[in-house]
Structure 1
Amino acid sequence: MADIERRFSSIQDFLSRGRSALAKGPVAMIFVEDEVEIDTTIRHHQVAGFAQVLVFMPDAFDLAEDLRATTCRISCDVSQPGALERHVNAVIAAAPGLWLYYCFNAEYLFHPFCETRTVGEMLSFHAEERRDAMLTYVVDLYTGDLAAHPDAVSLDSAHLDRSGYYAQARRDEAAQGHPKERQLDFYGGLRWRFEEHIPARSRRIDRIALFRAKPGLTLLPGHVFDDEEYNTYSCPWHHNLTAAICSFRTAKALKRNPGSTFDIQSFRWHNSAPFEWHSRQLLDLGLMEPGQWF
């Protein structure tokens, strides 16, 4: 695909002229909300082993020259209500059977043993266990020095919370509030510690970010799907793989929001730890699960 063909004016334009990018998976979809760490986010997921990276971003934002030839750039205003779901669902409808993934800029996917195994290898094993979706935990990252990095983002001084994570039963409103089978709402990180600044609907840290497209599948608000089995954390007979999305997104928002920025002088607390950018740390902290994959 020539460089000029890798830039598309809309999702409809991409599906008309660039559908060949969906010939092979897994495919990553990166939704760009601001100009923070766009290039590192894309490169991280290319190295992870995604066959194609689709970048949804406003026309005003810049993309590194080398990435223009290796990604499909699709014009999109991610801030518009429902934009994420509309674009993900359009790709789902166009790519039945393909493994897909989505995240935002300044978010980095880690899976068990990702230093030596690609995301494609992991998903092949996951599919053999008759799983069509994978639970990911969004692990908040933040700078250890807000004075030096007032936007809260620094790859070199990134920290994470090593404790303070918990789960609650996910209630089924259609069944008199009984717990849903193999579904939990997960909490922790900055969204828990600074919950007074976070709307209740945005406090969960679970996201079904890796999934296999199929006809009729629909992503709903809240990072869940209309197929309840896709929202489960494991199959009925044993634990399955999970992954982690290490994300500066919440830290950015808390420092950008006038209602919270002046209340936060530091994100560090007694349970902060430097982020090592390695899957072993996340496994040791219980922030992802290898399941039966060894």
Structure 2
Amino acid sequence: MQHATLSAFLKEPGTALAKGPVAMIFVEDQIEVDSAIRHHLDTGFQSVLALMPSGFPLAPDVSAAVHRIPFDVAAGDNYVDAVNKVIAAAPGLWLYYCFNAEYLFFPFCETRTVGEMLAFHTEERRDAMLTYVVDLYAGDLDRHRDAVSLEDAHLDRSGYYALARNDPDNHNHPRDRQLDFFGGLRWRYEEHIPVERRKIDRISLFRAQPGLQLRPDHTFNDEEYNTYACPWHHNLTAAVASFRTAKALKRNPGSTFDIHTFKWHNSAPFEWHSRQLLDLGLMEPGQWF
């Protein structure tokens, strides 16, 4: 279904915001748009909103299954503002956001839906879920100059770490159950990445509530939403497998000529399976088995 504007969609969403979880996919370029949308449809989202430039094509099967909304990041449209508008229009619904060439994985996602996973997470009195953005990259940049290949995708199997997240309003003491996570291409090529964009943690899955606001650093104005677990035990976490950083590093004139391959001794082929991410410690099943 096609909509004239985001405001027009939110004014008359029909059944798109009647039941969650709802996925928002922000399309920045024409790379792996259809595959990203299909992946999230298969994951079990009740509705998928494709916020994308009007001139970008979609495969017929994808176009028929999503709510297409004109949106152009390159022209200055701000995805943070768009997420916050959807939050205001959908109180109580579980929402998710990502970009094209990104793919959500969670424990046991091959046999369970995102709705089943979030139902369990809700029973644990959690309203948000931490996701790690795991960088993917093509193994052969001579064949895949945009660094994107689903068949030749690789990831880093080590090099991830966390630092305390200090609270400037509390004498810079560490925030309770909050950490800043780093690793992947943003760590290995940090000289090409602005400091404020080096973190790999993102609260991609969250339940909308009145007054909730996403901030540009992928955190929320409700600090409990930014925690990785509740106070009494470990909770579920998920991962977003993403070509976004690899694309940017190869597109940017300041970095593309310095990078002939992203592979190193700790690269491994990506298996497109949650078991690999669990084994690498890149997501946590918590109490869900």
Cα deviation for residue 77 of structure 1 reads 1.1
Partner amino acid, structure 1, of 2:247: K
Query: Which of 49, 58, 65 in structure 1 is aligned with 2:44?
Result: 49
The 5 Å alignment of 1:100-249 reads: 100-249=95-244
Q: Secondary structure at the match of 1:148?
A: coil
Q: Deviations over 1:234-255 (max 9, x none)?
A: 0000000000000000000000
Q: Determine if contact 1:191/1:203 at 8 Å carries over to the other structure.
A: yes
Kept after mapping to 1: 8 A contact 2:71/2:77: no
Give the one of 11, 34, 37 matched to 1:39: 34
Q: Equivalents in 2 of 1:223, 1:211: separation in Å?
A: 12
CA distance in 2, matches of 1:274, 1:240: 28
Q: Which residue of 2 aligns with 1:275?
A: 270
Q: Please identify runs of 4+ aligned residues in structure 1 that moved more than 3 A.
A: 79-82
Which residue number in structure 2 is paired with residue 62 of structure 1?
57
Cα distance in structure 2, aligned partners of 1:268 and 1:171: 33
Q: What percent identity do the matched residue pairs reach?
A: 71
Please state how far the C-alpha of 1:82 moved relative to its aligned partner: 6.5
| Residue identity in the other structure for 1:79 | A
TM-score by length of 2: 0.99
May I ask how many residue pairs the two structures share in their alignment?
289
Secondary structure in 1 aligned to 2:130? strand
Deviations 1:34-66 (A, max 9, x none): 000000000000000000000000111111111
Tell me the CA shift for residue 81 of structure 1.
5.2
Matching residue's letter, 1:163: S
Partner Cα separation in structure 2 for residue 82 and residue 42 of structure 1: 20
Shifted more, 134-143 versus 11-20: the winner is: 11-20
Structure 1: which 5+ runs fail to align? 1-5
CA distance in 2, matches of 1:251, 1:173: 32
Letter in 1 for 2:109: C
TM-score norm. by structure 1 comes to 0.97
Mapped contact 1:56–1:78 kept (Cα < 8 A): no
Query: Using a 3 Å threshold, how does the CA distance of structure 1 residues 59 and 81 change in structure 2: closer, same or farther?
Result: closer
SS at 2:8 equivalent: helix
* 1:161-188: CA deviation from partner (whole Å, max 9, x where unpaired): 0000000000111111111000000000
Whether the 8 Å contact between 1:161 and 1:189 is mirrored in structure 2 is: yes
